Structure 1
Amino acid sequence: MKTPLIDLVAESAEPLMILAVDASEDLAQLRRRCPQAEIHAVTPYEEIAAHTEIGRLGIHAHVLDWRRAPLPFAEETFDRILAPFAIESAYEPYDTLMALNRALKETGTLYTCYTNIRYHRVLAALRDGTFPVRGDRHLYAKPEVVRLLNDTLYKEIEFYAGEQDDDSAAGEAWIRAGFANVSSDLTTRTWLIRAARSTAAAANLKLFFSYEVRRETARLLHRIEFGIAPEESAAALRTLCAREGIFRVYLEDFAAEVCVHETRIRPVLDALFPKN
């Protein structure tokens, strides 16, 4: 059973900003899924960048070895980044994931994948004294990948089986030897990853108002929460809500995300938005 990474990327008619890193095989399908997107493709190979198909698809090609050179984009440029096997092929995985994180918008998502070191054929090769992939690549188990993504500030990390054996009994010998097989890990050759820069709840909040408005809202809520000039802060919050069109449901959800003592904010919300 095989599911390609590109299948995780939802279709969209929005004018998204998308970055594809060493994903030349997926560019045509990516364009079909996101026809209005501005797509940038990074590749170390000039012949790929110069291919007529790239121009026909309306994709901006950038020739550089992304494992060595910094990405030529401003921070918070992209809604989506498609980077197959970036974790295992990067020279410095932590630095690479941080660079991709910085290139994502606050509501952006990274799509990547990796070869599973706990796949039964990989384990058998290691047991027999051979290394099943090139020496310039890293092999990971799922807990290591989770830790790496957490350390590089990704949220809501989701795993999907990419390439998986049809025969669920293929890993039974390893199970008998004491190996855990959660989510059929022993029979999964590749894992696909969807990692968001923000949680779904936080991402929804970030869609409505600018960073500056959200920062000021958080500052005033924290002042009210901890009793710092509460009347003055409540008045300033009222002015901000009126000027920017902040509504009660949004402010309630925002307070739930940023405040430790949410109940302290309730009286202020009731005063700002009286319920009929």
Structure 2
Amino acid sequence: MRTELLDLLAPSAERLTILVVDGSAYLARLRELYPNAEIHAVTPYVEVAEHERLAALGVHMHILDWRRDPLPFAEEMFDRIIAEFAIEYAYEPYDSLIALNRALKETGMLYTCYTNIRYHRVLAALRDGEFRVRGDRHLYAKPEIVRLLNDTLYKEIHFFAGERDDDLSAGTEWAAEGFANVSDDLITRTWLIQASRSTAAAANLKLFFSQESRRMMARLLHRIEYDIAAEHAVTELRELCMREGIFYDYLSDFVAEVCVHEERVRSLLTGVLADI
């Protein structure tokens, strides 16, 4: 069984901004999926950047080695970043993942993959004293990937089987030796990852209003929550909601997302919630 990174993406006519890292083979299909997107691609090879087939796709090509050179993009520029095996081949995985995170919009997603060190053939090679991996690669198990992505500020992380054996027997044999085999991990050669910069709930909140409006709402809610000129903050929040068109469900969800003492804040906002 084989699933590719682009299989995780849904086609859209939106004007998304997308970055592809060392993935020129994906560009033609990506253009089909997103005909109106602004697509940027990073490659260390001049020949790839100047290829006439890619030029016809309307992709902005950037010649650099992303593992060594800083990315030439503004912060929060991209809706999607597709970086196949970035974790595995990065010289400094932590620094590379942080750089990609900064390039993502608050609602953006990273798509990447890695070779599973718990794949039964890798385990068998280790058992036999072999380790057929070049020095510029890192191999991981799923818990290490989760820790690395958490440490580099990614929120919701989803795993999908990339390349997996059709025969289950190899996994069964290793499981009998005491190896955990959650989600058929032992017969999965590669795992695909979708990692979001924000949780789904937070991402939905960020889609509606500007960062400045959300920052003001959060500041006022925290003043209300901790009784810092709370009455004045309630008045300011009511005016902000009326001015920006902030609706009941949005403010209610925002309270749930940013406030620790949620019920206390709601009790103080009874008038505001009733007015919008």
Code of the residue aligned with 1:86 in structure 2: it is A
What does residue 265 of structure 2 align with? 265
Q: After the TM superposition, which residues 149-164 of structure 1 pair with which residues of structure 2 at under 5 Å, given as runs?
A: 149-164=149-164
TM-score (norm 2): 0.98
TM-score after normalising by structure 1: 0.98
1:133 corresponds to which residue?
133
Query: Which residue number corresponds to residue 250 of structure 2?
Result: 250
CA contact (8 A) 1:248 1:269 kept: no
Which residue number corresponds to residue 240 of structure 1? 240
Report whether the alignment pairs 1:31 with 2:13: no
Give the aligned residue type for 1:72. P
The corresponding residue for 1:112 is 112
Instruction: Tell me the CA shift for residue 269 of structure 1.
Output: 3.1
| Deviates most, 112-121 or 53-62 | 53-62
Q: State the Cα RMSD in Å.
A: 1.2
The alignment partner of 1:235 has SS state of: helix
2:101 maps to 101
Give the corresponding residue for 2:19. Answer: 19
Distance in 2 (alpha carbons) for counterparts of 1:141 and 1:238: 49
Matches within 5 A, 1:1-276: 1-274=1-274
Q: Distance in 2 between matches of 1:228 and 1:258?
A: 16
Question: In structure 1, how many angstroms separate the alpha carbons of the residues matched to 2:148 and 2:273?
Answer: 43
Shift of residue 275 of structure 1?
Answer: 7.4
Measured in 1, the distance between the counterparts of 2:155 and 2:29 equals 26
- Once the two structures are overlaid, the 10-residue window that deviates more, 265-274 or 205-214, is 265-274
Q: What are the superposed Cα offsets for residues 35-77 of structure 1, whole Å, 9 maximum, x if unpaired?
A: 1000000011111111111111110100100000000000000
Which secondary structure state, in structure 1, belongs to the residue aligned with residue 163 of structure 2?
A: strand
- Three-state SS of the structure 2 residue aligned to 1:158 is strand
Letter in 2 for 1:74: A
AA aligned to 1:55 is A
SS in 2 for 1:155: coil
Structure 1 CA distance for aligned equivalents of residues 156 and 198 of structure 2? 7
Matched to 2:248, the amino acid is R
SS in 1 for 2:61: strand
**Structure 1: which amino acid aligns with 2:158?**
E
Shift of 1:6: 1.1
| 8 Å CA contact 1:154, 1:195 repeated in 2 | yes
Paired residue secondary structure (2:137): coil
Secondary structure of the structure 1 residue equivalent to 2:216: helix
For structure 1, list consecutive stretches of 5 or more residues without a partner in the other structure: none
Q: Distance in 2 between matches of 1:275 and 1:208?
A: 19
Task: Give the count of matched residue pairs.
Answer: 276
The AA in structure 2 aligned to 1:222 is H
Contact (CA 8 Å) 2:110, 2:195: kept in 1 or not? yes
Note the residue ranges of structure 2 that are not aligned, 5 or more in a row.
none
Q: Quick one: which amino acid aligns to residue 14 of structure 1?
A: E
The whole-number CA distance in structure 2 between the counterparts of 1:49 and 1:236 is: 52
Counting aligned pairs with the same residue, the percent is: 71
Return structure 1 stretches of 4+ with deviation > 4 angstroms.
Answer: none
